[in-house]
Amino acid sequence: MVRDAAPTIRSVQEADLPQVAALADAFNVAVGRSPGIYSAAALHDVVFGPAAFVSVAVAAADDRVVGYATYHDSFDPFLARRALNLADLFVLEDWRSRGIGARLMAYLAVDGARRGGASLWWGVDDDNLRGQAFYRRLGARDVGDRIYIVDGSAFAALADGGGTKT
């Protein structure tokens, strides 16, 4: 049941991690990726563990997490300044079109500025037209760059020095 109260946007708490993991898995399913990758324990390691490197903002309403954004520090090579990189932004379907995504993005911008950052970076799938329109409404621009990833066996081969072909 969706309530009319506006969710609170705040930093994640340890007690939120099971809900964030469930939302992250729902996000993966929604974009055609495998579910079951996220767990509260895995998130705890990267958010609160001794080598933590990920930040999470949540939208919480009635003791329930209804949206989240994961992000981390990065570097803006065009400004030679600190930046933030948005990894995921997800809001439950029943809570969309209420400004929650924009409020989560604003939270990241405030946090980035507090950390001395000057920009926020992220990727968006080519077929995510709704997301692209949302980001443009926030003032974002498409810089036309493709994002590449090396993972799985290709990452292992590259890390082993065997990733280049001559």
Give the chain's radius of gyration (CA, Å): 17
User: Is 80 exceeded by the pLDDT of residue 122?
Assistant: yes
Question: What does pTM read for this prediction?
Answer: 0.90
The per-residue pLDDT for range 22-79, each reduced to its tens digit, is 999 999 998 888 888 999 999 999 999 999 999 999 999 988 999 999 999 999 999 9
What's the confidence (pLDDT) of residue 145?
82
Domain-wise residue ranges, the chain: 8-122
Higher pLDDT, residue 2 or 81 = 81
What's the confidence (pLDDT) of residue 164?
58
Q: What is the mean pLDDT of the chain?
A: 92
CATH fold of 8-122 reads Aminopeptidase (3.40.630)
Q: What is the mean pLDDT of residues 95-102?
A: 96
With beta carbons less than 8 A apart as the criterion, state whether 47 and 12 touch.
yes
